[in-house]
Amino acid sequence: MRERLKSSQWAGLGLIGGLVIFPFVIALLTGQPVDAGVPKFWQGMLIQVFILAVFAMSYDILMGYTGILSFGHALFFGTGAYTVGILLKHAGWDLGAALLAVIVIALVQSLIIGLLSLRVSGVYFAMVTLAFAQMAFLLAEATDFRQWTGAEDGLQSIPVPAWISPTNERLRFYYVTLGFTIVMYLLARQVVNSPTGKVMMAIRDNETRAKVLGYHALTFKLIAITVSGIMAALAGAFNALWNLNANPAVLGVGTTINALLMTIIGGVGSLIGPMLGAGVIQLLGYWLNVFFGPSWPLLFGIIYILIVLFLPYGIIGTWRLRGASWMALWRKRLQELRARL
């Protein structure tokens, strides 16, 4: 057990190390400067993966660890994006204060949404959250607030501070986003490993039994939705900073479905799985688009079905279930090979 924990920690450190040197590796491989051309492009690609990874992980805290299926997760992501955008563009706040405001607003928002909708569960909860998210979507599109939100055009040219400009300071933005993602992962891991997190998992497994043991389920669900909401809102804020805009689509159903897909593909209830899922979706989407053009979502649908069929527990889930026996099989084959040589 201890040995396996160590190996997974090594894998994590290796992954982080790899991501830290990644821009320079690409620069070395292509012979291009690290802040231009192909290296810059791939930094951008990974920045989007990092942002989506945090978003997917926040969804996992809710769905994977607490067993709450939300169809309105875009609400938090989108609100985060619009909050940081409006505060930077129209209120002239500095970035730190705006991000703090994102956290505070997400906290209040998730508590309100939680208190209003956690009275129902399962599919009903999913529907209520969907309704809230659609309300926000319509609000963002409403022409009445055009001067603040840009209505259906979205909030354009958000004035991101020069030192972190995603166009001129791409490498710095890359490291800031990577750091943000690592911090969010460590926080999420702390939450799920805490006594509170264990109660969340107990509620996921068997809510009534948890109540009989003496746990007030609503309290723990509220904590889960709040942690998840804040994390999603921060991911949304980073998304707005990266794109320099926020448009109504960030509040749309597609955004929530994206989080759901990433979580399922990567593996529910593992934190790291949804992060991998974010990478898979983003990179797969990019390559499919390169090779097959605008019809790529069709192919993606087929791949998604194949993944669900053959990896029903997602990448990480299936690995945890079958990894040990696969490794044993490989070792056996290697031994056979060696014996033959």
Partner 1 sequence: MSDWILTTQALTRDFGSLRAVDHVDLQVRAGSIHAIIGPNGAGKTTLFNLISGYIKPTSGRVLLRGRDITRVPLHRMAHLGIGRSFQITNIFPTLTVLENVRLAAQARGADNLRLWRNAGKLTAYIERAYTALRQVGLHERAAQIAATLPHGDKRRLELAILLAGDADILLLDEPTAGMATEQVPMLLDLLRGIRQGTNKTILIVEHNMSVVMSLADTITVMHQGRVLAEGSPAEISANQAVREAYLGTAFAGGQL
Contacts of 168 (CB under 8 A, 6+ apart): 162
CA distance 86 to 97: 12
Contact 184/231 with Cβ under 8 angstroms?
A: yes
Positions 221 through 250 that interact with partner 1 (CB under 8 A): 223
Other Cβ atoms closer than 10 A to 327: 11
1 near partner 1, rule: CB under 8 A: yes
Contact 203/67 with Cβ under 8 angstroms?
A: yes
Contact 78/250 with Cβ under 8 angstroms?
A: yes
212 near partner 1, rule: CB under 8 A: yes
194 near partner 1, rule: CB under 8 A: yes
Residue 155 phi/psi, 5-degree rounding, is -90, 110
CA distance 98 to 135: 23
> Which among 252, 243, 228 has a CA at the least distance from the CA of 48?
243
198 near partner 1, rule: CB under 8 A: yes
Near partner 1 by CB under 8 A: residue from 38, 164, 171, 201: 201
User: What are the angstrom distances between the C-alpha of 165 and each of 64, 116, 160, 161?
Assistant: 34, 39, 6, 6
Q: How far is the CB of 65 from partner 1 (least distance, A)?
A: 11
215 near partner 1, rule: CB under 8 A: yes
DSSP state letter for 71: S
CB closer to partner 1 out of 132 and 313: 313
Torsion of CA 130, 113, 204, 207, to 10 degrees: -120
**Candidates 34-42, 219-227, 316-324, 327-335; binding stretch for partner 1 (CB under 8 A):** 219-227
213 near partner 1, rule: CB under 8 A: yes
Q: How far is the CB of 184 from partner 1 (least distance, A)?
A: 14
2 near partner 1, rule: CB under 8 A: no
Q: What is the CA radius of gyration of the chain?
A: 21
**Candidates 69-77, 81-89, 217-225, 300-308; binding stretch for partner 1 (CB under 8 A):** 217-225
217 near partner 1, rule: CB under 8 A: yes
211 near partner 1, rule: CB under 8 A: yes
Q: How far is the CB of 199 from partner 1 (least distance, A)?
A: 6
The count of residues interacting with partner 1 (CB under 8 A) is 28
Near partner 1 by CB under 8 A: residue from 31, 92, 96, 214: 214
| Residues found near partner 1 in the complex (CB under 8 A) | 1, 190-191, 193-199, 201-202, 204-206, 208-217, 219-220, 223
